[in-house]
Structure 1
Amino acid sequence: MRGWIQALSLRGKLMAGIVVCLLLPAVVSFFVSNWFTQDVMKEQVTRNSQEIVDQYVANQLDRMLYILNLLQFDPDLHLFVTELGRMDPVRQPYEIVQTKLKLNKRLDAILASFDPLYLTILLPNGDYWANYSSFDFDPKQLFGKPWYQETSELTHYQTRWVGGEPNYVPNPDGVRHPYVLTLAKPIRSGDQLRAVAVVSLDAAALQKLFSSSKKEETLLITDREGRIVFDKEMERIGTLFPFRDQLPAEGQASLIEVDGEANLLIAEALNPYWQLVSMSPYKQASKPIQAIRRIDFLVQTLCLIVFAGVLLYLTGALTTPIRRLVQTVIRIESGHLDERSGIRGRDEVGRLGFVFDRMLDRIETMVHSIIREQEHKRKAELAMLQAQINPHFLFNILNSIRMRILLRGDAENADLISSLSSLLRMTINRNNEFISLHEEIEMIEQYVRLVNVRLGDRLHLKLSIASDAVLAEVPRFVLQPIIENAYLHGFARKGGTITIHAHLLADGHLNIVIADSGVGISKERLEKLRADLQGEGEAKERASAGLSGIGLRNVYERLRLIYKEHCSFVMDSEPGRGTTITLVIPQQQEEE
């Protein structure tokens, strides 16, 4: 079972969960309810007979109204009725016959789709039209009915609900029901009466339907005054319903006492004039329903408990891998690049976990590759920088030495040559990336001595190196570019004083402060230089024209490349007060 679930896709699992948790409870509930209610079904159908009767009677009345309204508002039928009312039965018998034939043809097609309805059109000229035989009953007798005059005075929007009338038309089998339900409506053109249409429904079908209710139940139709219009017991038609004063509002029910027993009384409006009334014993009506409800409640509760467990299991099976994947992402975000989800499977989540872990493996491989490349790049850059010597600078120095040697031969020139040799030796030596601070200071002293050959001892170097910082290790050529930058830009190739302070901090970091007495830097220019160091500005040149061939940004990038965020490079300057650069370098290179 577990293997089959894992083989499904995520969509398949969701669909299976929906089918199991929604469709199966409904199917189980249906069969269980059907099992317990099969003995009560017939009785329940009988108790719902009011709805059937209500719908049937309402439909029949709607069809009767439809026929009457059709005579009023259908242009062709209205025209036929109007023409019949205008014709003289004595002078125009042929025309009357032709018009009635047209009316027959039109109405027969409409009335054929309904239950037997008896339609009579009473014309003002004393003539009539009927869809039934006039041998047994003369439709002209309807002119003498008391409701005929009332109907002829109504507007064309009104209908006279006559109610139960003695039946005047036999059924095709020759059996005549005692009553028919009758409606009447005036057919007018403006204020002029064209005809009175009378439609009647044989009550045989209603009698059969009403008789299907149980003996202890009462089912009947009354008008708004409580007079019985139709009942399965014919002798009650035309009498007053004894409980008419206790009828509830439409859509509601009331309990009344009949012979010491509670009865449920319901009234539903069939139209504005008639209503369907039902009265049945309350206990007998509600007992089966209450039993069914209790059984249904127990079944639904049991299904809910079972399928809630199934749903929780499926939900857990779906969400556990996703939760593990989220936890893996969180740990990777915190820096644990070696973390893996370990999620496997043949569905979408399993494939996602596998691809995600494989992507992490590739990223880790790429990171190590980038680290190695950066290390090689750093060493290659240092080697390149060490090999770069400004030919013009060497030419000027060598030319000065040559001129001094020509003019006089003393020990000073030998010192200059010695300084030049030491400086060249330091630049050419590529064995060590890190040197001690005192070696870097010696190289700076040689560089200053050579610069003073051109300036005439106007570039002064002051050193304040603490004893605990002399042997501290620094990257090769980390200070010389700063001194060269001060000489080229701070003094504009003129004289000045450069001071170097160095000491170890309490946390073991080496603190180096290089200050010059140059012209300084404006606030705007300083902000631009700081932005350029951070890689936010646009540096026109990343190298100065000095011995090393690298500028301040190169020094900053080397420090960040070697020590990352564990070092600092701070530049401060004011116009006329020189520039100060502070370096804080760890004594041991941080592990990557």
Structure 2
Amino acid sequence: MERAGKTPWNHILWPGTLKGRLSILLVIVTITPIVLIGFTSYYWMYKVQLEKISANYQSIVNNEQEAVQKVFTNLSSVSQLLVVEGGLGADVIDYLTTNDPLDKTNLFLNIDKSLTNIIFSNPNVNALFFYLPDYTPRIQFESAPLKTEYTLGDFGKVSFEPLFGANQLTFHAPHPSALAGHDELVVSLTRTIKYRSDNIYYVYLETKFDELIHSLSDGIIGAAPSQVLVDAEGTVMYSDIPETVHTGIPFAEQSAAIKPYKLFTSSNPSGWALHSLVSLHDYQKEIKQWQWQFMLMAALSLLVTIAAASYIWRMVYRPLQRINREIKRFSHNQSERMGLQTHLQEFDMLFSSFKDMREKIVDLIMEVEQKEKRRGELEVEKLMSQINPHFLHNSLNTIQWLARANGQTEIFNLVKVFTRVLHYNLGKSSMIVTISEEIGALHDYIELQNIRYDHRFSVQVDAESGLADVPIPRFVLQPLVENALYHGLLSEQGDIRVVISRADAGFVSITVADNGKGIPPEKIRQLLEGEGSRKTGLGIGLNYVRKMLGVYYDQQAEMTIESVVNEGTRIAIVMPDRVKGEDYRD
């Protein structure tokens, strides 16, 4: 069994109200498509973006590797123009071996012109010179001034780290330029050329390296990737980040240092390879930028969906709330006119049907009220027909007793008072009188009863000033005094007090108190519920008063009975000072 005060889980997950269920359904139909479609879209778009970024970086390193290879190929092609057989090398050898000044001058001019054409037709060639170990000076025909260590030293002793070789060609790893005043890194080619059997000379060519490998990285998101060049054995020959990846050490032995990087590699058929190291922060930067864009679009989609769901919820629930408010207003005030336009055909039709039903209910209520009012009036008339014969019977008995016991004067006075009382009680005028008229009739009744009971009781009537013209149903005070007289008469000396005063604003209080023997609680209940004795007339009189108050005041009037055995009884009535729907002056 579920503990008291606890809400069952099934009521929380599936409430019993339309509002709760509609809210849950709107949340489900709103969130579910976003979660399913969003998760699927995110998963595949994430993979596509990741592959695109990886392909972009891989394409960059591939293009850079191919650019380096093209430079090496171009250097090789240019060096081919400087060989002895079929190239400029034959003129160089003739220039060095001739002793004729005119021939020497012509050969020099031809060589210089040819070298100039080669340099201009190959702008990537940064420097070019011949190294002739058997002649002085050893370096000749340089395209631009060289550094001192080349002009004064032995070029053969200048060490360049080889990257790879092919026949007479040696391709060097990146190193500083041989040109004077230039410190940029270059890649170079040294070609060994044989002439006249065992004699050799060398051709040196170089081209810039930094611009070569970094020009393709422009426009990417984040910092440019770092480049690492390795030879066929995997030894690092060049590194953009020497403090992290060290040259002269196998690249495979530096795996711990490159953990913060994403590695992309492009290998060359000659055996060397170019590695591109991308910082993980930069590598994920584009992914994060895409993720933010995706989250922004997802949030906008969610907001639009929530707004649409909220509009649907308000479009369905608010008209129901308004109709419910109109129903509650109708339950409190049937006479108020109703006006409601939801601008939705279905709800307007529902409310129109409710208005038709309301009008029929109002008509039925008015019909029932009229019938109940008429029935109450008939009950009053019926009670009057019961009370008046009873009173008349007692009065006639009194007259008979006085006729036997006394003279003509007393009988005359008795009959005179009795006639006034009988005229008031059986009058055919309006049922509504004033308090002053009701008090006057009560005095006649008291005088009549004093004659009957030989003045063994006293009745004191106190009415607050200003209440004389207050309307009141006819024949209200006499049944209350009669009740007090019935109980007070049993003692040797009875006292009855009637007090009429102003109660709260708009209300009048009537109190009748006696010092008789009192009424038992069960008897009080019977009197208030209309079950009083029919033999004595006690129940008839109070039942009449209760019915009269109900007919003319509905629930606004209240009658209470307080009684203590052997001490007395107090009957109190609080009722409005106006009687609606009656003109007591008719």
TM-score by length of 2: 0.48
Larger radius of gyration: 2
TM-score by length of 1: 0.47
